[in-house]
Amino acid sequence: MNQIKKRAAQVLKEKLDSLCPDHALGINDIAGMFEYPPDPKLGDLAFPCFKLAKVMRIAPPKIAASIADGLSVDGISKIDVVGGYLNMFTDKLYVAAATVNTILEKKETYGANGEGIGKTVVLDYSSPNVAKPFHIGHLGTTIIGHSLKKLHEFCGYNCIGINHLGDWGTQFGKLIVAFRKWGSRDEIEEGGIDALVALYVKFHKEAETDGALNDEARAAFTALEHHDEECTALWKWFIDISLREYEKTYKQLGITFDSYNGESFYTDKMPAVVEEMRQKNLMVIDDGASIVDLSDYNMPPCLILKRDGSTLYPTRDIAAALYRKNTYHFDKCIYVTSAGQSLHFAQWFKVLELMGYEWAKDQLIHVPYGTVSIDGEKLSTRSGNVVLLRDLFAQAIEKVAAIMEEKNPDLPGKDAIAESVGVGAIIFYYLSANRIRDINFIMEDALSFEGNTGPYAQYTYARTCSILSKASASGIGPIDAPVNTDGISLCDEENDLIKTLALFPDKVTQALHECEPSVITRYILDVCADFNRFYHNIQILSCDDEALRTFRVKLTASANYVLASAFDLICVGKNEKI
């Protein structure tokens, strides 16, 4: 469809040049104006003329009629004028050949727009607080962030994935005190991050009746800030134990990072940032604290230093952004965190801009997402009300393994497939909804294997693999050779699938620009629905017409390539057999 849009845009520009030389629209501008009619009866593409009314000083319907007069575009069989729109109907066989041949030629790169070639994007995501386990609340930043990295890589960007660990703050003073009072090295080594959480929870429970514990924790963190040898050794040990646990989850999700520089990395970089703000007269003293007044921008003040001179999150984030800009020379830096932090990011983005860094306006991007609750209850490590990701994944894997044992007990590699499908089910469920929506996580829904779910989508992909394997064994091929649609009559099921496959480049661009992985997840379901109708309603390998049989196999191969790429973009594994 992109090819037809570009061709139509070229023809439309030539027509507009003759009708109104001052229209000032380029080919890419015109191509970007195309819309998809909500009803297929209205056409396959629609070009709105309303934007031209101001410069041409003519009503949109008359503009549309003038443009349509004598207009001819390869691949377009009919053009109707409806109000201020040019409704275009594509030549179905032309689109079929163009779409399938393009997919078979580009294979895994079909859909990539190349807009990021020569550009660098830094993505800050996952970033768990050390000494706390992964729970469902961490799934958003981790999966959305990595999907955005995949999307940017797919479109040519050089991507730097940063896990900005929460490895600094008074919580480490609490852990140090708790370990000294109630912990042992052997118990922590054996129990890992769970043992650290137990100490953290115990500290808060004891602190409810013993207020002195909080004073001890603040003193321990102050000692850590001043590089006390014992406190520093314990702190590094806590981080090491935590990373061992996190890596297990990252391995299941197929995630790696380029940097694990957390909050502590920037402690020695903040004084220079604070001094720069002083030199630029941005900070004022308010009740003993140092702030940047943002009232002119309808925001509360941004706190830079506490009364005691210690730094806060904005100070660290500003220092981190400057370090990353100087180190990676990014074209954009994306932060994937909960929507509850939106004001925080808006504030320090503005402070950087006021410091004179113009790139902060356009290159710093906060991608918010909604909260997760369990049966309506807010998650809290402190109170122990969490559902750990490892437990959730284990349940999903166990359920898939039981189904496979019942239906296909002799399937090779069952354990690996069960893990891929089970973990994929959780990811797919989470990424099915718009990221900004709050999610009340209901276990039964997440692990359901009926309806529009990850296992259903993965099974559809496996079905395409099975068809292609049988086709190859039957001597049908070569699969990737160009198709010839001459003399072929296509049915509705084929045309619907082709039309959906042709949309993949548009969906990739939309997901990239909106930072919205759910665009791809929903698109996968569209492909699956169209392919399964195609599979159930018409003959593929058993078709008597050789030319039509070959085309249908190649159409199956096209769906296979698109599903494989789309799965990768949302971090879901694909299996040739389920």
Spatial neighbors of 345 by CB under 8 A, at least 6 apart, are: 317, 335, 337, 364, 366
**What's the rounded Cα separation, in Å, for the pair 349 and 317?**
9
Q: Compute the Cα dihedral for 501, 504, 505, 510 and give only its sign.
A: positive
Contact between residue 86 and residue 74 where contact means Cβ atoms under 8 Å apart: no
Helix (H, G, I), strand (E, B) or coil at 118: coil
- CA angle 369/374/377 to nearest 5° reads 95
**What's the rounded Cα separation, in Å, for the pair 47 and 227?**
65
Return the exposure string of 106-123: e unless at least 16 CB atoms fall within 10 Å of the residue's CB, then b. eeeebbbbeebeebbbbb
Helix (H, G, I), strand (E, B) or coil at 122: strand
Structure tokens at 391: 């437990």
User: What is the 3-class SS of 279-313, one letter each residue?
Assistant: HCCCEEEECCEEEECCHHHCCCCEEEECCCCCECH
So which residues are the catalytic ones? Answer: 132, 135, 138
End-to-end CA distance of the chain: 32
Structure tokens at 156: 């040519």
Cβ-based burial of 62 (10 A; exposed 0-12, middle 13-18, buried ≥19): middle
H runs (alpha helix) in 254-388: 270-279, 313-328, 342-354, 359-363
Spatial neighbors of 331 by CB under 8 A, at least 6 apart, are: 119, 120, 121, 157, 363
Structure tokens at 17: 């040049």
**What's the rounded Cα separation, in Å, for the pair 209 and 237?**
29
Strand ranges across the sheet with 283-286 = 283-286, 289-292, 302-305
Spatial neighbors of 414 by CB under 8 A, at least 6 apart, are: 401, 404, 405, 408
- CA angle 109/112/113 to nearest 5° reads 145
Task: Supply the DSSP string of 166-233, one letter for each residue.
Answer: B--SHHHHHHHHHHHHH--HHHHHHHTHHHHHHHHHHHHHHHTT-THHHHHHHHHHHHHHTT-HHHHH
